[in-house]
Each structure stands twice: as C-alpha cells, then as structure tokens.
Amino acid sequence: MAKKTLKTFQPDRGYTKEDWDEVGDNPEWTAEDFAKARPFAEVLPDLAASIRRGRGPNKAPTKKLVSLRLSREVIDKYKAGGDGWQSRIDADLRRINKIK
C-alpha cells in the first residue's frame, strides 16, 4: 500500500512551514530520474561504511549465550527495575557465587 503524499503543510509533524516551503517544489521523479539514480553506498561509501560498521566484533567475548528458564516472578521483578535487567541478574549471580 503506497503512502499518501501530503499536498499542504500540516503543523506539528516535526518540520516548520519554512522547511515545507523549502522542499515543497521538488518535482516528482520520472523513469529517467530513477534510471540515473545510484545506491547510497556507491555515492557516499565512507558514510555508508560508518553506518554499517555498528558495534564491531567482540574480539574477546566475556559472556556466553545460554538458555535459562526462570520463574515468571523473578523475570518480572528484574524487568520492573528497567533496562539492563539481564546484567543485574548476572551481577546478582556473581555476588551470590563470590565471583569477581
């Protein structure tokens, strides 16, 4: 389903009337325009690479992925504390088992 194009300025959409007026006269693309278009990574390779780079490889993994079944109450309690609940479980288990 195609997105409907806005034909008139509508406030409170994240841009100003000046922004709307600045780009409002951009013409529709033709088949010729699309034929001449090049991929983003080809036009701006350095920027594309920096975006693609992301977090990078974990050269010395300090943690191991495991599957662990915990009670709903335990999970709910940790999740209620917000983001980082998995790390808090790890920290609590390390403390209980006297692991530095």
In this predicted model, what pLDDT tens digit does every residue of 59-97 receive, in sequence order? 677 788 899 999 999 999 999 999 999 999 999 999 999
Helix and strand counts by DSSP (H, E) for the chain: 6, 0
Whether 94 contacts 100, CB under 8 Å: yes
pLDDT over 90 (residue 9): no
pTM: 0.42
